[in-house]
Structure 1
Amino acid sequence: MNILILGATGFIGSVVAARLVADGHAVTGLGRNPTRARLKQPAIDWRRADLSRMTKPEDWEDLLKDQQAVVNCAGALQDGPADDLAATQADAMLALYAAAKHSRHLIVQISARAAGAASALPFLATKRRADEALAASGLPHLILCPALVLGRNAHGGSSLLRALAALPLLPLVHAESPVETLSVDDLAEAVSRAFAGELRGDIVLAADEALTLADLVRLHRQWLALPPARVFSLAPWLAKPVTWLANAAGLLGWRSPLRSTAMTVMSEGIRSARRESGLIATSAAVTLAANPSGVQDLWFARLYLLKPLFIAGLSVFWLLSGLIPLLSVEKASAHFLLFMPEAAATALTLATCLVDVALGAAVLVRPLARRALLGMLAVSLAYLAGGTLLEPALWLDPLGALVKVLPSILLTLATLATLDER
């Protein structure tokens, strides 16, 4: 069968795509940036597209040619510069259903639980709108609503679980909230069975066990081979400053799992009314045990919460490096007076200050972060080379004017190494 997978570069989509290829299907993968996915999964026919711009039936016509089914694994948690929930999760799906009506494509929709107070949030409201439209479309379909998905890799909430598990102490908000889980392989199995004609309708998928958030973090800590640690249950109001910062970072393009949508969902817990599907879901402990952790997982867990601190630290360093000399431009430009006239020295000082401030601000914006980090490396090396050639005595300066640039370069390299989200 020819199958089009939306969001095929993601955590869930990549596993589903691999499973369908293994089943012998011809898979076309859709993603906003499939360059690396093409290298990783060459058996898939990769196409570049942005769902938020595919909100009319005609936008889908070329993609649906020669396809017999569509799996929608795409989604986003909250609106941001790169994420438009209404367009991606609702409008684009309604356009897809309209385009698929003539040829009666089978549509498999990976959705989410849409009950409780959190159901009014855009994340769940747009998912529900697409689900209801699909159910009413008359198209052959399967709507899967998985619990918290766990697998060999991690993204979003599952990444946060690993990061929390690696802390020396375990400070948790909503520690006793119930959390149901599902192995990503079980989800891929359900999709596979849909194409074997065994599943249709609307199915909730979750392992048959009762866990709390604290239980799940402890399981991940054991998986990382770390000794037991005490759980500290924190009052929800203590998390509000973190959520506010995460939301602010979201406006700059950073997709933190600590944003308000995730915290609201977790306040109610992740649970569902199970419906009989004939599928046996793997427990969280068995899912983790089937994929033993390695040192790379421990590195990831320990670095995950340090990454935003790296970025914030570099931003503050470069902003202050540019702003402080502006308080006394004449004094700051004195270093250049031996080599150029006063006016040129002042202009050069102002130019370097503006460059520093621009880099410190740009690194906070996700689409600009990589270029800002590369710019920091280039400017740092230029400062070191210029200082060494023009005023080598600065290496012996008691305040370490040039020496301090070296740890900044190392921090920049570490941030670059952890920048990728997929």
Structure 2
Amino acid sequence: MIAGVRRPDVADVAGASEYRAVDLARLQEAPAWSGILSGVDAVVNLVGIFRETPEATFDVVQRVAPIALFAACRHAGIARVVQLSALGADDAARTPFLRTKHAADQALLSGGLEGIVLQPSLVYGDDGQSSGLFRTLAAMPVAVLPDGGRSPVQPIHVDDVAAAVASALLRPMRGATRRCALVGPAPMPFRDYLATLRRGMGFRSHTRVIPVPLALARGAAAVAERLPGALISRDAVDMLARGNAAPAGETKALLGRAPRAADTFIDADRGPALGIAALMGWIAPLLRWSVAFLWIVTAAVSLGLYPIADSLALLERAGVPAALRPFALYGAALLDLLLGVLTVLPRRPRWLWLAQIALILGYTAIISVRLPEFWLHPYGPLTKNIPLLALLLLLDQLERNRWTTSR
């Protein structure tokens, strides 16, 4: 099997015997595909994006480049082409994601090739990004869902998708090109799917679902989609609200059996590890924002919310020379503010948590020597540093080791 990937030097695709560099953002004309298709008997296009970037837009990656690929296949005499699309990519599609998928599907089906369009519902895989998001939602004690998560979905396991792709490649087409839905055995409300994932991860309690109007959910998603790496977007909310279900007959025909049910997606031996990762999916950001809140509020207090004269008096008691007290006060406040801002940036420096640990240790040592009475203060200004240091060490280790559930 030849795998087309963006970085052949670091690619690791199961079953691949060869890698070829493929960047759909740069392959917008049929001739650009000629060398890539050399020696190829059949093509499977799995490429899709859920968020646009300046270099990779829905239109280029999901419409222009695939249409160029199909034209190149026709020119090279490659008849068998499988296009992995999405359920809902049809004439009624309203989101750019689905519209561009539909345009490429139509080009394949009308392009004189022996092609098949596979349209999966939600695809579950332990290492999938969207599956990780859904597990994180399932692990939360409270889930805020559009219309309470009543929209129907029909999730299918990634192994069944792979088997369906293999079947589409190897079985006779029985005539004209066609379009097939890939779905699980039966529809279920999205909230029930989350409950199923929660049980599979070993949680005994139930997630409380809070319904929100679709307009409010879209507004929140409009803010979230501006954050780097976010999987929530207005398009995602709209597609979820529309529903994602279809009859399972075509899937059964391709597989030669019934697809896996959602309650079998998570293996029992992996459930606890996936549950811990799902918890960290929402707890780690909460911890980061709480640490940022601490630094930013501390900076604001030092910059004037607390009387400046009293702050300077504390510095005097700590032994700071009079000429250096304003510099120490405002310099430390600006440093606190900087640490707070860095804490919530999507690309944080690796030294950030260790720098915060070192600063807190420094503050604690100085105060312990010059103002030891603060160890016995009823509000615990120094004793609270102990759990804070443990929290910062946890965040450092989480990001250093990049928590993963991969095999």
Q: Are the equivalent residues in 1 in contact too, given 2:195–2:207 (CA < 8 A)?
A: no
After the TM superposition, which residues 143-292 of structure 1 pair with which residues of structure 2 at under 5 Å, given as runs? 143-156=117-130, 158-168=131-141, 172-174=145-147, 175-199=149-173, 201-227=178-204, 229=206, 232=209, 234-236=211-213, 240=216, 244-256=219-231, 258-272=232-246, 276=250, 278-279=253-254, 280-285=257-262, 287-288=264-265
Question: Which of 144-153 and 278-287 deviates more?
Answer: 278-287
What displacement does 1:54 show? 3.7
| 2:352 corresponding residue in structure 1 | 376
Distance in 2 between residues matched to 1:348 and 1:62, nearest whole Å? 64
Question: One-letter code of the match for 1:140?
Answer: E
| 2:3 corresponding residue in structure 1 | 28
How high is the sequence identity, in percent, across the aligned residues? 25
| 1:51 corresponding residue in structure 2 | 24
How many residues are matched? 386
Question: One-letter code of the match for 1:312?
Answer: W
Distance in 1 between residues matched to 2:312 and 2:245, nearest whole Å? 60
Distance in 2 between residues matched to 1:402 and 1:108, nearest whole Å? 58
Q: Does residue 387 of structure 2 align to residue 412 of structure 1?
A: no
Q: Are the equivalent residues in 2 in contact too, given 1:72–1:108 (CA < 8 A)?
A: yes
1:60–1:311 Cα change, 3 Å: farther
1:169–1:380 Cα change, 3 Å: closer
What displacement does 1:264 show? 1.4
Q: Are the equivalent residues in 2 in contact too, given 1:172–1:231 (CA < 8 A)?
A: no
Distance in 2 between residues matched to 1:320 and 1:77, nearest whole Å? 36
Question: Which of 54-63 and 181-190 deviates more?
Answer: 54-63
Question: One-letter code of the match for 1:240?
Answer: L
Question: One-letter code of the match for 1:379?
Answer: A
TM-score (norm 2): 0.76
What displacement does 1:312 show? 2.8
Distance in 2 between residues matched to 1:43 and 1:116, nearest whole Å? 32
1:148–1:338 Cα change, 3 Å: same
After the TM superposition, which residues 273-422 of structure 1 pair with which residues of structure 2 at under 5 Å, given as runs? 276=250, 278-279=253-254, 280-285=257-262, 287-288=264-265, 293-327=270-304, 331=311, 335=315, 342=323, 354=334, 356-366=336-346, 368-369=347-348, 371=349, 374-384=350-360, 386-387=362-363, 392-393=368-369, 396=372, 397=374, 398=377, 399-400=381-382, 403=386, 406-413=389-396, 416=399
1:403–1:207 Cα change, 3 Å: closer
Q: Are the equivalent residues in 1 in contact too, given 2:339–2:352 (CA < 8 A)?
A: yes
1:209–1:386 Cα change, 3 Å: closer
What displacement does 1:296 show? 0.2
Distance in 2 between residues matched to 1:342 and 1:224, nearest whole Å? 59
What displacement does 1:189 show? 0.8
Q: Does residue 105 of structure 2 align to residue 131 of structure 1?
A: yes
- Residue 179 of structure 2 aligns to a residue in which SS? strand
Q: Deviations 1:285-344 (Å, cap 9, x if unpaired)?
A: 46426665431022123222324323433433344455544448895798599678947x
What displacement does 1:160 show? 3.8
Distance in 2 between residues matched to 1:119 and 1:169, nearest whole Å? 31
Distance in 1 between residues matched to 2:331 and 2:68, nearest whole Å? 50
- Residue 76 of structure 2 aligns to a residue in which SS? coil
- Residue 70 of structure 1 aligns to a residue in which SS? strand
- Residue 280 of structure 2 aligns to a residue in which SS? helix
- Long gaps (5+) in structure 1: 1-25
| 2:69 corresponding residue in structure 1 | 96
Q: Are the equivalent residues in 1 in contact too, given 2:145–2:210 (CA < 8 A)?
A: yes
TM-score (norm 1): 0.74
CA RMSD, aligned part only?
A: 4.0
Question: One-letter code of the match for 1:297?
Answer: L
Distance in 1 between residues matched to 2:67 and 2:235, nearest whole Å? 24
Q: Report the structure number with the largest CA radius of gyration.
A: 2
Q: Are the equivalent residues in 2 in contact too, given 1:186–1:281 (CA < 8 A)?
A: no
- Residue 128 of structure 1 aligns to a residue in which SS? helix
Distance in 1 between residues matched to 2:330 and 2:272, nearest whole Å? 46
1:94–1:407 Cα change, 3 Å: same
Distance in 2 between residues matched to 1:198 and 1:387, nearest whole Å? 73
